[in-house]
Structure 1
Amino acid sequence: MLRYDLIGRRDIRLASDAPVPRPGPSEVLVRVRSCSVCNRSDLAYYHWFGAREHCAQGCFGHEVAGVVEAVGPGVTRVGPGSRVFVRTPLTTGYAEFALAREISVGMLPDHVPFEQGSILQLLPLAVHATRGVRLGDRVAVVGQGPVGQMALRVARQRGAAEVAAVDVDGWRLERSRLAGADSVRQVDGSAAQLAAVGAEFDVAVDAVGTPTTLNACVGLVRRNGLVVMLGTHHVDTHVTVDLVTWERKGLRVHSSAEPEDTAKASAMAVAERLVGERWANLRIGELHTHTYALTDLPSAVEHLSASRVLHPDGEPAPYSGPPAETLKVAIVP
């Protein structure tokens, strides 16, 4: 089969005769119909492979949708022919086939195109990340890339009374407004402009993952408020915070990580219900902006690499924001 592998920093290679994985116990083999590029993890792995230890450990190409080809012993939820989306497979989705644990597989209804289905990898992530949002909360989501857009949608489904979207890019904020943001604020990314967004939010979600945005979220929330670390700190892996401020505010904090299978299963179950019953409300189609063939993966990566967040916070960068008019890029075999 065809498969792209990340083998070094900014070095991906196409194999034309890669072996098709075989599913073991509780594993599922998926014929890939779409693998969307993760704007943060995939690109961080590509640009920082070897320079950041964790960038050689993640799955490059982990947002998959397709059709189940075969299952291993013990699999009961899906079978050959099932349409599925996958959250974090065991093998890369930049291939004709990908292997995944059954617990990482969600059912994909017939009406959902595969190019939109691969984006749904973000849905259980956002479900788990927003678990602290309560009915009537005021929520600020800092960063309106794909993961921030998904957090906005899920916070609205959880009953937030007000959702404010914050980003450096006006085009993305227009998408946020269409998706249900009550207010949008375009900033230049500086701490001063982020602080001017306001305060006394019940929840502030850092959907960027830089020291500046995390500390800005501390300022946005009320006393006893919740700060959510949803954006991944792949580039700036060490972040300095003012613990006196955290103590005075009595802040709560959690991340989007799901270290236990019970959390993964719970988030996936909610995601499946949302896809099945509230698909129109999610407006996933608005997140899919580009499609590339599998053999053209290098061009897709180059397109998405025109992004400020791939450079350390506070250091000079050739870009002031994200790629123009771009959210999710689907790669199709």
Structure 2
Amino acid sequence: MRRYELVGRRDIRLVADAPVPEPGPLEVLVRVRACTVCNRSDLAYYHYYGLREHCAQGCYGHEIAGVVEAVGPGVTRVAPGQRVFVRTPLTTGYAEFALAREIAVGALPDAVPFEQGAILQLLPLAVHATRGVRLGDRVAIVGQGPVGLMALRMAALRGASHLTAVDLDDWRLERSALLGADSTRRVDGSAAQLADVGADFDVAVDAVGTPTTLNACVGLVRQNGLVVMLGTHHVDTHVTVDLVTWERKGLRVHSSAEPVDTARAEAMRTAERLSGTRELHLPEILTHTYALEELPKAMEQLSASRALYPDAGESPYDGPPRETLKVAIVP
């Protein structure tokens, strides 16, 4: 089969005769019909391979939709021929086939195209990240890339009374308004402008993953407010916080990670139930589609991003890639 492999920093290679994986116990082999590029993990692995230890450990190409080709012993939830989406596979989705654990596979409704279905990998993250949002909460979401938009939709479904979307980019904020943001705030990314967004939110979600955005969320919430770490700190892996402020405000904090299989399964099953609803606005999140051979072109397009550079360092870019959200790769 054809498969792209990340073999070095900014070095991906297309292998024409890679072996097709064989599913073991509780594993599922999926014929990949689409794999969307993760705007944080995939890009960080691509740019920091060899510079950050974790960038050689994650799965490059992990947002998959396709059809079950075969199942291993003990698999009962899915069967060959079934349409599925996958969260955190065992092998790359930039290939004709990918292997995943059964727990990471969810049923994909017939009405959802594969290119949009691959985006559903973000849904369990958003489900778990917004688990602390309560009916009537005022929620600020800093960062309106794909995962921030998915969190926006989940917070709305959980009953938030007011949703404020914050971003560097006017075009993305227009998408936020289409997806249900009650108000939008454009900022230049500085701590001062982020502080001006407010200070009385019940929940603030960091959907970027930088020291500046995380600390800004601390300032955005009220006393005993909730701060959610949804953005991935792949570039700035160490973040300094003011513990005195955290103690005085009595903050609650949690991440979007599902640390154990029971949490993963719960979030995945919720995502599966929501996968067919129009409330997710998947067509508005998918902006580009490329063939598998064009993966280098997609990586180049998405690499024009400020988020790939250290928070305190210089960057040739002042924001995200122009008019780009999710990019799907189709074998």
Question: TM class by shorter-chain length?
Answer: over 0.9
Provide the secondary structure at the position in 2 that maps to 1:23.
coil
Counterpart amino acid of 1:322?
P
Q: Deviations over 1:81-117 (max 9, x none)?
A: 0000000100000000000000000100000000000
Q: Displacement of 1:314 after TM fit?
A: 1.6
Matched residue, 2:302: 304
Matched residue, 2:103: 103
Q: Please list, as runs of the form range in 1=range in 2, the aligned pairs for 1:70-109 lying within 5 A after superposition.
A: 70-109=70-109
CA distance in 2, matches of 1:166, 1:32: 34
Provide the secondary structure at the position in 1 that maps to 2:275.
helix
Q: TM-score, normalised by structure 2?
A: 0.99
Matched residue, 1:216: 216
Matched residue, 1:13: 13
1:156 aligns with 2:184: no
Matched residue, 2:320: 322
Matched residue, 1:59: 59
Q: Deviations over 1:248-296 (max 9, x none)?
A: 00001101111100001100111111123xx111111100000010011
Counterpart amino acid of 1:9?
R
Counterpart amino acid of 1:302?
E
CA distance in 2, matches of 1:275, 1:29: 21
Q: Displacement of 1:27 after TM fit?
A: 0.3
CA distance in 2, matches of 1:92, 1:275: 22
Counterpart amino acid of 1:293?
A
CA distance in 2, matches of 1:281, 1:300: 27
Q: Deviations over 1:283-328 (max 9, x none)?
A: 1110000001001100000000000000000211000000110000
Provide the secondary structure at the position in 2 that maps to 1:299.
helix
1:138 aligns with 2:141: no
CA distance in 2, matches of 1:45, 1:198: 34
CA distance in 2, matches of 1:81, 1:158: 33
Q: Which runs of 5+ in 2 are unaligned?
A: none
Q: Please list, as runs of the form range in 1=range in 2, the aligned pairs for 1:1-333 lying within 5 A after superposition.
A: 1-276=1-276, 279-333=277-331
Q: TM-score, normalised by structure 1?
A: 0.99
CA distance in 1, matches of 2:294, 2:231: 27
Deviates more, 1:279-288 or 1:143-152: 279-288
Q: Which runs of 5+ in 1 are unaligned?
A: none
CA distance in 2, matches of 1:216, 1:57: 30
Counterpart amino acid of 2:307?
V
Counterpart amino acid of 2:221?
V
Counterpart amino acid of 1:152?
L
Provide the secondary structure at the position in 1 that maps to 2:237.
coil
Aligned residues: 331
CA distance in 2, matches of 1:33, 1:160: 35
User: Any runs of at least 4 consecutive aligned residues in structure 1 with deviations exceeding 4 A, and if so which?
Assistant: none
CA distance in 1, matches of 2:218, 2:43: 27
Provide the secondary structure at the position in 2 that maps to 1:126.
helix
CA distance in 1, matches of 2:237, 2:327: 26
CA distance in 2, matches of 1:41, 1:20: 24
The two structures, once aligned, show a CA RMSD in angstroms of: 0.5
Provide the secondary structure at the position in 2 that maps to 1:247.
helix
Counterpart amino acid of 2:290?
Y
